[in-house]
Amino acid sequence: MSELATAADQAAGFLRALAHPARLRVVCALVEGEMSASELAAYAGLRAPALSQQAAVLEREGIIRRRRDAQSVRYSLASPGARAQARLLHRLFCPETRRGTTD
């Protein structure tokens, strides 16, 4: 497979993962930084089971990662590329940040 084909496959997987409104909310929320599962669920407007399901898709594509912190789970964006793409989407579509400032 050529480098272009490989890159296109990776980009398509990334875009497929973001093509669901709930997953997109999760990624946009994580632009603000690492969050606990309960914080992320509340911010993204998801119940815990829905967050878990959507986060699994994003993890498989390497967009987010999770880590255990004592008894809780914390989520963050997984790579500089994921952060850059999420920031771009956030800037284009989410002008209001959690802190109430505009971009």
Could you read off the pLDDT of 18-46 as tens digits, one per residue? 899 999 999 989 988 999 999 999 999 99
Question: What's the whole-number mean pLDDT along residues 54-75?
Answer: 93
How far are the Cα atoms of 31, 57, 77, 101 from residue 97, in angstroms, in the given order?
9, 25, 17, 6
- For the chain, report the end-to-end CA distance as a whole number of angstroms: 40
The whole-angstrom separation of Cα 19 and Cα 15 is 6
* pLDDT tens readout for residues 6-19: 989 988 888 898 89
Estimate the crossing angle of helix 3-18 against helix 48-60, to 10 degrees. Answer: 170
Question: What's the whole-number mean pLDDT along residues 54-68?
Answer: 94
Residue carrying the six token digits 């992320």: 40
pLDDT-based confidence at residue 54 (cuts at 50, 70, 90): very high
How confident is the model at residue 95, as a pLDDT? 66
pLDDT-based confidence at residue 81 (cuts at 50, 70, 90): confident
Question: Is residue 91 over pLDDT 80?
Answer: yes
Q: Which domains occur in the chain, in start order?
A: 3-93 (1.10.10.10)
Adjacent-strand bridge partners of 69: 72
Contact partners, residue 44, CB within 8 Å, separation at least 6: 22, 25, 26, 29, 51
The DSSP symbol for 65 reads E
How confident is the model at residue 90, as a pLDDT? 81
How confident is the model at residue 93, as a pLDDT? 81
Query: Rounded to two decimals, what is the model's pTM?
Result: 0.81
